[in-house]
Structure 1
């Protein structure tokens, strides 16, 4: 029996040793095989072909003019990477941002304009960089029922154009888009104010409508805001403020249906529109333009 076990140990022990010997040999063969495969890899495929900055830039412009926006963006990026300190690199940043904006890649566009502004705040294309930033945010403005951070960002960028570069060709359009953005923010406040008014939370509603009158006095929403203030103050029994709101409404929008409705509401309680010297409404009235004046 012992002889049998020895025979088995010899047999399996020998097999085990043979297996252990074969493993490193197989590994060596595998490594050799990998090495021979690596010899076939063209490393140049992973390296940019360096081309002159002006050549790359003109290729990018050609792609842009032909509507090949992704290719244009790649070429502008190549200029920036391969020739980072050249004049073409500076221009490529802002033109690459424009290509991305046109392609609907707004985040990429903003990243490039922000980089341009950080590196070249006083260069000729800075106004355009701010303008593209504003456009990228502007295109993402949602309806008034949703959160309005994109609206605020677009206004901030367009304000930079107006304030920093008053003689820029982009000022007029920036002003128009600021007006739209402010009207949008006022619309959002009105939407929230109406929500509170419908639920008879008059104090919260007044806060929103007052914000429209004080902060967005040159928007089209002021007219309704004054009427809603008349309604909310009247419901609370604060009749002097209800009368003051209706008076300001009548002074600025005498033919408005909102004024007619407010007048009728006050009449139902034996009241009429009346100015109040101590009311915040009298102070705010001077700034009301109802959207007739620009930014």
Structure 2
């Protein structure tokens, strides 16, 4: 099952738990309040039908009204979660984040808090975003990694606070993906600088990748770029230190021959 297949099922599961809580809510309402409750429940049912049919705009309008009619109830909480989900599905990322952040802030004891944290991570995470794909189409040195890091922190909070949550295993997978992608990004930027002769910048970005993402596959190339950059800068001690680390941690590295005897092959052939 893919990431996208997994999260499409999530709102339904949360809705069931929260709707049960709604049915158990207090019954001492006035006639006017009862009418508002009935209207809110009818609107919510209509919104769910539209969600399941893929008609997101009518669902968003209905859920927004439910929030007002059922303010302070569990039904209003569920509407907030569904609204955040639909804003995300329709590309309104800023609105989605605002909505889910408000839910988390106002409902710290909600039974759906783990899902809310998971959704906050999903809103920032998108396995098809240009951040991680189509790398060659844009100068990576101009890209913002904030969304990926925010997604990582959201998933991390979920994992730490709700280790037994049904969403935690998927969050851990996404955290690993983000770490590897961020490391690859840093190395790609280092390579970008190296190819343009900006050896100080290349060494700094490669060193950052190695220091921050030591267990990522990209660390191997990061070390090689440090060796190459320090060599161009005639920083012999730093070059040799980086080479020793590369040899120790990656004895079978495809980069070693070029790092030790750079005249054997032009550096650009390695990429």
- Measured against the shorter chain, the TM-score band is 0.7 to 0.9
Shift of 1:79: 1.5
Q: Residues 36 and 70 of structure 2 are in contact (CA less than 8 Å); yes or no, is this contact kept in structure 1?
A: no
CA distance in 2, matches of 1:203, 1:68: 53
CA distance in 1, matches of 2:161, 2:70: 29
CA distance in 2, matches of 1:150, 1:266: 41
Give 1:78's aligned residue. 65
Give 1:229's aligned residue. 226
1:192-249 CA-partner distances (Å, limit 9, x unpaired): 3223323433322211111111101122210101111111222223323322222222
CA distance in 1, matches of 2:214, 2:61: 45
Q: Residues 258 and 264 of structure 2 are in contact (CA less than 8 Å); yes or no, is this contact kept in structure 1?
A: no
Out of 80, 102, 107, the residue aligned to residue 89 of structure 2 is: 102
Shift of 1:132: 1.4
Give 2:237's aligned residue. 240
CA distance in 1, matches of 2:200, 2:188: 15
Q: Residues 141 and 151 of structure 1 are in contact (CA less than 8 Å); yes or no, is this contact kept in structure 2?
A: no
1:105-120 aligned at under 5 Å gives the runs 105-120=92-107
1:37-72 CA-partner distances (Å, limit 9, x unpaired): xxxxxxxxxxxx946133322222222222222222
Q: Residues 141 and 150 of structure 1 are in contact (CA less than 8 Å); yes or no, is this contact kept in structure 2?
A: no
CA distance in 2, matches of 1:223, 1:80: 51
Total equivalences in the alignment: 220
Out of 130, 133, 136, the residue aligned to residue 142 of structure 1 is: 130
Any stretches of 5+ residues in structure 2 without a counterpart? 1-34, 266-271
CA distance in 2, matches of 1:247, 1:110: 45
Larger mean Cα displacement after TM superposition, 99-108 or 167-176: 99-108
Out of 180, 193, 197, the residue aligned to residue 196 of structure 1 is: 193
Secondary structure of the corresponding residue to residue 257 of structure 1: coil
CA distance in 2, matches of 1:195, 1:251: 26
Give 1:37's aligned residue. none
Shift of 1:170: 1.5
Any stretches of 5+ residues in structure 1 without a counterpart? 1-48, 269-295
Larger Rg: 1
Shift of 1:266: 9.5
1:242-261 aligned at under 5 Å gives the runs 242-261=239-258
1:151-190 aligned at under 5 Å gives the runs 151-190=148-187
Q: How large is the Cα RMSD of the aligned pairs?
A: 2.4
Out of 38, 42, 47, the residue aligned to residue 60 of structure 1 is: 47
Give 2:18's aligned residue. none
Q: Specify whether residues 141 and 151 from structure 1 end up closer, same or farther in structure 2 by C-alpha distance, changes over 3 A only.
A: farther
